[in-house]
Amino acid sequence: MAAKSREECVYLAKVAESAERYTEMLEYVKGAIRYSNARLTIEERSLLSVAYKNLTGSLRNGWRSVAHIEEMEGPKVSRHELALIQKERLGIEREVAVVCEDVLQLLSTTLILAACPGDETVFYYKMQGDYYRYLAELARGDSRKSYAALSLDAYKLAYKLALSTLEATHPTRLGLALNFAVYYRDVLNSPERAVHLAKHAFDEAVATLDQVPESTYRDSLLILQLLRDDLILWLKEIQERDELEAKALS
């Protein structure tokens, strides 16, 4: 039965989330978008993000598994078996692309156009950067370059807006910094730039942590912990790479 109001859409989206039925969850959130003239509350935006994140998350995990099998087993198996592995990988890539293109169209044609400056606009441009990044991670050649450029443009715009409109400890700004840093690390293969961005965001937020509103303290702290963990990992990667290069030159 179709939801008859914005409130019903939100309630059923939560029920679908509890049941891990993310396709249905997304349809209910889209219903809320129609009933609200594309102006979503923080809770509704969170539901939208959760729905898309779960729909793409399982697919991206599956893609990584198949890509790993292809890399490790490719030289050992027959041509026919390798073709089967590649067919499976390409099938997952098409499924990921369908979901990414859906969210990107929703953002560009509806949500961004209706958004107010500040948190709402930053949130949507961050999402745009994220889903172009997902497409870039799976693509090759010119397609990868194109998606990477679109992702970078969205992240840059979101970050510029975040710096001018959101506090350093705001969860949306911190989440953007985290994902933008991941972009530099995973798409551009530049852990140095990832570290620079993440450390700047981390240090600025920690300096004013005592001013964080109680309503967002837990969210801000969680993202700060993720930033710290990634910083430790990336700094270790840089150190290990530099040591290998030094050994090669000695």
Distance CA 209, CA 195 (A): 20
- Total domains in the chain come to 1
Q: Is residue 238 part of a domain?
A: yes
State which residues form the domain around 210.
155-250
The 10s digit of each residue's pLDDT in 69-106 is: 999 988 888 999 999 999 999 999 999 999 999 999 99
Four-CA torsion 237, 57, 113, 170, nearest 10 degrees: -50
Q: Is residue 10 part of a domain?
A: no
The 10s digit of each residue's pLDDT in 215-225 is: 889 999 999 99
Q: Is residue 59 part of a domain?
A: no
What global pTM score does this model have?
0.93
Q: Is residue 83 part of a domain?
A: no
Terminal CA-CA length for the chain:
71
Q: Is residue 182 part of a domain?
A: yes
Q: What's 8-31 look like in SS3? A: HHHHHHHHHHHCCCHHHHHHHHHH
Q: What is the CATH number of the domain that holds 232?
A: 1.20.190.20
Q: Is residue 195 part of a domain?
A: yes
Distance CA 108, CA 130 (A): 14
